[in-house]
Amino acid sequence: MRTSTFLVTGANRGLGRETAKQLAERGHRVLLGIRDATKGAETETAMRDAGLDAHFVSLDTGDAASIERAAGDIGKRFGALDGLINNAAIHYDTWQRVGAPDFAIAEEAFSVNTLGPWRASVALLPLLRQSPAGRIVNVSSMSGQLSSMNGETPAYCLSKIALNGLTLMLANELRGDGILVNAVCPGWVATDMGGGGRPIPEGAQGIVWAATLPQDGPTGGFFRDGKPIDW
């Protein structure tokens, strides 16, 4: 039986690590996209010691060259890729207002939170197209909902709005390839970035759900806990 392979970005902590863990516990191979080599090795060792099929891949989603190198590495080592979970994100800038921003923070947020998933999706498309059930999951946020927008947390919110737009565009572009593309809001989760809320495993469950949808599953949607939510 063929083993499905999933790449999770930002997999050394929080939602990324838990998502990778839950996928591996289901019997899938997980590729741990992590920027820091030491943290990558530590995360791989911890998961493999737990009997999970986990492999560190050096990947900085804010660096276009790193993304291209990672795509080449994955192709050589594993061949086809069945799922890409674009989880890595930075700058939950609650101290900012849209009328008084630090544009350097905004540029960094867009580089990692929007351009990173875009670049990764494009770089890995040849491998996803080789899968019989390719999936792209963009980990978004309620902060990216147009229906609840205000002037707070502008860098993070705008980068997530753009990520949601990317989700719709990719879903339409790749519909003919059978690649399902969806955005997932994990809810307010008790991560280092989120600072409180629901347990991390609960937030990760909706991401895993979207990554393992059946072939007739939805595409081009925004979901929380497997249920559609407003853009």
- Encode pLDDT of 38-84 as tens digits: 999 999 999 999 999 999 999 999 999 999 999 999 999 999 999 99
User: Where do the structural domains in the chain lie, given as residue ranges?
Assistant: 5-228
Judged by DSSP in three states, 208 sits in helix
* Fold of the domain built from segment(s) 5-228: Rossmann fold (3.40.50)
For 162, phi and psi rounded to 5 degrees?
-65, -35
What is the per-residue pLDDT across 108-158, written as a single tens digit (0 to 9) for each?
999 999 999 999 999 999 999 999 999 999 999 999 999 888 999 999 999
Tell me, yes or no, if 92 is annotated catalytic. no
**Catalytic member of 56, 92, 156, 222:** 156
Query: Does residue 164 register a pLDDT over 80?
Result: yes
Q: What is the pLDDT of the chain when averaged over all its residues?
A: 95
For residue 193, the model assigns a pLDDT of 63
Q: Which residues contact 231 (CB under 8 A, 6 or more apart)?
A: 145, 146, 147, 164, 222
The separation between CA 187 and the C-alpha centre of its own chain, rounded to angstroms, equals 14
Let me know: does 34 contact 58? Beta carbons within 8 Å: yes
**Residue that the structure tokens 């999706």 belong to:** 121
pTM, full prediction? 0.96
Q: Which helix (H) or strand (E) holds 55?
A: strand 54-58
Q: Going by C-beta distance under 8 Å and a sequence separation of 6 or more, which residues neighbour residue 32?
A: 8, 11, 12, 20, 40, 43, 44, 47, 54, 55, 56, 57
Burial of 121-156, coded b for 16+ CB within 10 Å and e otherwise, reads bebbbebbeebebbbbbbbbbbbbbeeeeeeebbbb
